[in-house]
Structure 1
């Protein structure tokens, strides 16, 4: 539309010039070019003036878009680089971590295997010792010490009834030192304790500490028996005896505190 308007303006100017020239009027002829120039001005005015101003805006938008895209690209490159660094570090740490894990696992396996083998060896030794001592008992050649050792083996195998019979025979026929007899009473008290015969257990423990006053294990066992009967006062007395001979005994320290607490609550 604008091009068509510009095309018609020179033709109109020409039509205006011809009549003025035919009349021969100088003033009117001078006015004709002004119409032509006004026609050119109209043509220029019809052209869009905002187009040159839009170019800087478009360029600015393109530059901003380019800047954003380059910024996003740089962020992506940084992210990729960071991921590569993390992957390299993780790959570098993977081998030492796996090695430490394997060493730890092997350590647990070795300790477990050692404990299992040790238990098997101990059990085998107990079985062999029990066979030898049992053979002596059957042939009537067993001494009081043999009965005691056989009773201790049966205690470790948790055969408390059989252990009690052998320990009682050892006690009746004891020919060793009186202080060593305290061990027989302590072992017999332990057998009665595990059979829930607490009164018999306490009696044997008392005999043990009467024969050997510094027998810390027997005093601890006596306190345990009293504590199981909920006789916390006598239990506390037994634990105090332990601390008299062994002030650093952790079992007696812990149990005596517990007995004190129980007595304070019931007071």
Structure 2
């Protein structure tokens, strides 16, 4: 477990260094979802990083719907062997495979859909989950969504379909940080009780109260796995803090899509002691 906690710190260092280097990117949500990604790829999912293919037969699959938090996705993939860590140096640069939003046309291992147009990832995850059922593949499909993303209507069409068709090999996690690009989700468009909404659509809903505590995230994801195969898709409401791990980025939407300057980077790295090796 200490290895995974150390990896969380290193992933956070990767995130702030990537966005600083090109003065572009989305550090807030990336930092807030670090424990989720580290837990998913370090403890929860079954996958073959060394022999990645688009079909993913005999493996668990993950789809990132809120694709703007690509820095945490790229760091986690690299740190788990999908591609070389030093490729993180190319983030958002011309001809890089590490685009601001994940894409598939460059053949980046670990990425199975282009994402960034919000609201679409759940539909893709449902399709992949149904394909696994047709192929008699008992592995699971995981997806991640921002809470602000739930303002997209396609999410609720997909949610209705998944429950109506008993897609019970799907675990969709909502990053409930209460923030989106223009302010708090309550200020932009209040959504009420998200968990009750999913439950009303026929999902099995559970909550991870502290999505920035690695032990809690691992326990929650394992609990979600135990609920699959029982006729309902599973939804996790995961409460996180945008900018978690860097004090001046926490508690505000202002770091949704802003890169730190030189002094701010130094401050952030000073709060994140290197645990592995910087790229």
Return the index of the structure with the highest Cα Rg.
1
Structure number with higher helix proportion = 1
TM-score (normalizing by structure 1): 0.27
Question: Higher RCO, 1 or 2 (CA under 8 Å, sep at least 6)?
Answer: 2
